[in-house]
Amino acid sequence: MTSTSAGPRSATPPRGLMRWLVNPVVRSIARSPAGRWTGDLLVLEFTGRRSGRRLSVPVLARRHGDALYALTDAPWALNFTGGAAVRVASRGRRWAATGVLVDDQAEAAAVLRTAITTSGARHVGLSLPPGWTGTDAELCMLRRAVRLEETGPAS
């Protein structure tokens, strides 16, 4: 009998549960004064490039070096290819920023490794086999990183 070990995988709750139950609650809390206690969560408000719809998405954030990054496996991250305006709400504060989808695998993987090391894979929404380190390419297949560059107060 051969043994197969499960590889890395996403461990986020089902999208329907997140979209209709968890996200509305997180959005409300992150925008309120109680948002000061939400830790690494923030809400990104932006316009979809193709749909033109206004989106409001709760997301895990991680500081790496001097920059703030949003980490996700969701397709909405592609809206930030080449950079796009975004309003950010976090810890009861709002500000304007430019979101840029990180296309440099080394940078994106370094952010994800920092998040996994400091908070654990589960906190980042991943299930990793014991001892798994992964290549930069493998990490980038699991999560995308959007760098958030503050431009001023929210308008």
Task: Please state, in angstroms and rounded to a whole number, the distance separating the CA atoms of residues 108 and 101.
Answer: 9
**pLDDT score for 12:** 63
pTM of the model: 0.79
74 belongs to a structural domain: yes
> Can you give the residue range of the structural domain that contains 140?
10-153
75 belongs to a structural domain: yes
**pLDDT score for 122:** 79
Task: Please state, in angstroms and rounded to a whole number, the distance separating the CA atoms of residues 44 and 55.
Answer: 8
Beta pairing class for 67-72 and 126-127: unpaired
Task: Please state, in angstroms and rounded to a whole number, the distance separating the CA atoms of residues 88 and 97.
Answer: 7
* C-alpha distances out from residue 87 to 18, 29, 37, 62, 133, Å: 21, 16, 19, 17, 34
Residues facing residue 90 across a β-bridge: 93
**Mean pLDDT, the chain, as a whole number?**
83
Q: What is the mean pLDDT of residues 15-30?
A: 64
**pLDDT score for 4:** 46
pLDDT at residue 90 tops 60: yes
Q: What is the mean pLDDT of residues 102-121?
A: 90
**pLDDT score for 152:** 85
**pLDDT score for 16:** 62
pLDDT at residue 1 tops 50: no
92 belongs to a structural domain: yes
Residue 22 confidence class, pLDDT cut points 50, 70, 90: low
Q: What is the mean pLDDT of residues 20-24?
A: 63
100 belongs to a structural domain: yes
2 belongs to a structural domain: no
1 belongs to a structural domain: no
For the domain that residue 38 is a member of, what is the CATH number?
Answer: 2.30.110.10
4 belongs to a structural domain: no
At 51-71, the pLDDT tens digits run: 999 999 988 888 999 999 999
72 belongs to a structural domain: yes
Count of the separate structural domains present in the chain: 1
